């Protein structure tokens, strides 16, 4: 029987690997570093915690199922997951990356990738085709959609037609929509990465990351790397993310509904010169996101009329908190230019339309009237 997505957040279809006989409804936390073997040549399936742990494995099965992959691997953070995917490449390999990526990913390419001989070309992939940038040594294309923080929408299927033809890997960071709203593997991606710290965990209390793939060969390589480098998610943190995912569907729906209310309010404000949300009909990616995703998410970027107003809003907000990160039950506001995008070169910021008047909201699941009332008082002198 194939479950629908809300059920998949809570149950895995085949339970043959349940190692607990107590009937516990909540999957146990296996807080152990190593596992005993019954006898010579016999194994319980577990050897050492760096390789695998039953709690982590349960989480990986849930996430693989949600993304429609054959395997998912859980990491200690989203950046650990991205770093592991990048270990698939060697010095001299070339990657095409989207211009508007998460600041930490840009930092990875600028400092670690660069030092390790990974060549990159940055392209605005929501506007331009990837094809003219492909070189003989190009190995992969790395994108996020919608992008952070400008919410550009990239047509995954269209890019995958080219990456398949040219035998390149298509890697999609699916953090912003979560598997509840979008499944890039089904649209032709080869690898999906997540910061599980965000919507999957959902409570701003745990860092985690995921790599999901539909390819046996890639899964095997990723598992070899995690076994070697030891960046797997700890048992207790795995349990926290498992618990978070149980309410993914409810949280995503509510956060999106709140985001729509806030977008409506922002559109009416004279101090707001621009509202960027892919659910708006005038957003350039609106038709694409409607086709490739089941929702628009709960990230809202907006530009106010002055730098002074930015300072005032960040000072006066009470319920909404001025903090980095996203995807949790609490509504957070960030000032990308000094926070998530502090290491991004100025010419890229300008090209992407991020300036000292740009603010980003990660809308949570509070009552939308309370959120709007807080914004209202923060906007007023
Ligand atoms: C947060 C984030 C990451 C990094 O994840 P961490 O869990 O913070 O390491 C990567 N990509 C996107 C889109 C993110 O929002």
Domains of the chain: 5-245 (3.40.640.10), 248-379 (3.90.1150.10)
Is beta strand 191-195 parallel, antiparallel or unpaired with respect to 332-334? unpaired
Residue 88's pLDDT is what?
98
Helices (H), the chain: 5-8, 54-67, 78-86, 103-107, 114-115, 156-165, 178-181, 216-229, 235-245, 248-268, 286-292, 307-316, 346-351, 368-379
Interval 144-162 mean pLDDT: 96
Those residues with Cβ within 8 angstroms of residue 371's Cβ, 6 or more apart along the chain or in another chain: 258, 261, 262, 319, 320, 331, 363, 364
The CA 142 to ligand 1 mean position distance, Å, reads: 14
Q: What is the pLDDT of residue 14?
A: 72
Q: Whose CA is nearest to atom 2 of ligand 1?
A: 195
What pLDDT band is residue 351 in, cutting at 50, 70 and 90?
confident
Between CA 73 and CA 194 the distance in angstroms is 10
Cα(195) to centroid(ligand 1), Å: 4
Checking if the pLDDT of 90 tops 60, the result is yes
Model pLDDT for residues 91-100, shown as the tens digit of each residue: 999 999 999 8
In the predicted structure, residue 202 carries a pLDDT above the cut 60: yes
Q: Cα–Cα distance between 368 and 361 in angstroms, integer?
A: 13
Q: What is the mean pLDDT of residues 280-292?
A: 97
Let me know if 133 is exposed, middle or buried by CB neighbors in 10 A (0-12, 13-18, 19+).
Answer: middle
Q: At residue 17, does pLDDT exceed 60? A: no
Instruction: Specify the residue with its C-alpha closest to ligand 1, atom 12.
Output: 102
Mean pLDDT of the chain: 95
Q: How many whole angstroms from 78 Cα to the centroid of ligand 1?
A: 5
| Catalytic residue list | 50, 102, 173, 198
DSSP 302-359: EEES-HHHHHHHHHH-SSSEE-S--SSSS-EEE-TTTTTTTTS-HHHHHHTT--TTEE
How much is the average pLDDT of 43-61? Answer: 97
What value does the mean pLDDT take over residues 119-142? 97
Mean pLDDT of 333-358: 86
The per-residue pLDDT for 20 is 67
The set of protein residues with a Cβ atom below 6 angstroms from ligand 1 is: 77-79, 102, 104-105, 144, 148, 173, 175-176, 195, 197-198, 207, 209, 326
pLDDT-derived band at 178 (thresholds 50, 70, 90) equals very high
Atom from ligand 1 closest to the CA of residue 82: 10
Which ligand 1 atom sits closest to the C-alpha of 79?
9
223: left (phi over 0), alpha (psi -120 to 50) or beta: alpha
Q: What pLDDT, on a 0 to 100 scale, did the predictor assign at position 16?
A: 62
């Amino acid at each position: 029987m194939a479950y629908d997505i809300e059920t998949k957040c809570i149950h895995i279809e085949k339970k043959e690997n349940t190692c607990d006989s107590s009937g516990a409804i909540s999957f146990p936390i296996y807080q152990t570093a190593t596992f005993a073997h019954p006898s010579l040549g016999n194994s319980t399936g577990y050897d050492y915690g760096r390789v695998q742990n039953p709690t982590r494995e349960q989480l990986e099965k849930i996430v693989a199922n949600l993304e429609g992959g054959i395997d998912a691997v859980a990491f200690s953070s989203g950046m650990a997951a991205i770093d592991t995917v990048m270990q698939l490449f060697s010095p001299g390999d070339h990657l095409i990356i989207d211009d508007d990526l998460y600041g930490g990913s840009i930092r990875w390419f600028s400092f670690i990738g660069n030092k390790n001989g990974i060549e990159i070309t940055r392209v605005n992939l929501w506007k331009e085709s990837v094809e003219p940038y492909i070189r003989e040594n190009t190995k992969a294309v790395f994108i996020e959609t919608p992008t952070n923080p400008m919410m550009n929408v990239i047509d995954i299927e269209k890019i995958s037609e080219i990456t398949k033809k040219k035998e390149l890997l298509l890697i999609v960071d699916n953090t912003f929509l979560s598997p509840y709203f979008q499944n890039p593997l089904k649209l032709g991606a080869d690898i999906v990465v997540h910061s599980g710290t965000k919507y999957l965990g959902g409570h701003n209390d745990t860092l985690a990351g995921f790599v999901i793939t539909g390819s046996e060969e890639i899964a095997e390589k990723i598992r070899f790397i995690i076994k070697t480098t030891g960046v797997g998610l700890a048992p207790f943190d795995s349990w926290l993310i498992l618990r978070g995912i149980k309410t993914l569907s409810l949280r995503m729906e509510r956060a999106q509904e709140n985001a729509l209310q806030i977008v409506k309010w922002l559109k009416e404000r004279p101090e707001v010169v621009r509202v960027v949300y892919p659910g708006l009909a005038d957003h350039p990616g609106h038709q694409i996101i409607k086709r490739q995703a089941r929702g628009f998410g709960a990230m809202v970027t907006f530009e106010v009329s002055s730098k002074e107003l930015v300072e005032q809003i960040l000072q006066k907000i009470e319920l909404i908190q001025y903090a980095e990160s996203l995807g949790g039950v609490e509504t957070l506001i960030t000032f990308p230019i000094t926070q998530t995008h502090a290491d991004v070169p100025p010419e890229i910021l300008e090209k992407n339309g991020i300036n000292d008047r740009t603010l980003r909201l990660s809308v949570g699941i509070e009552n939308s009237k309370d959120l709007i009332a807080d914004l209202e008082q923060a906007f007023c002198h």
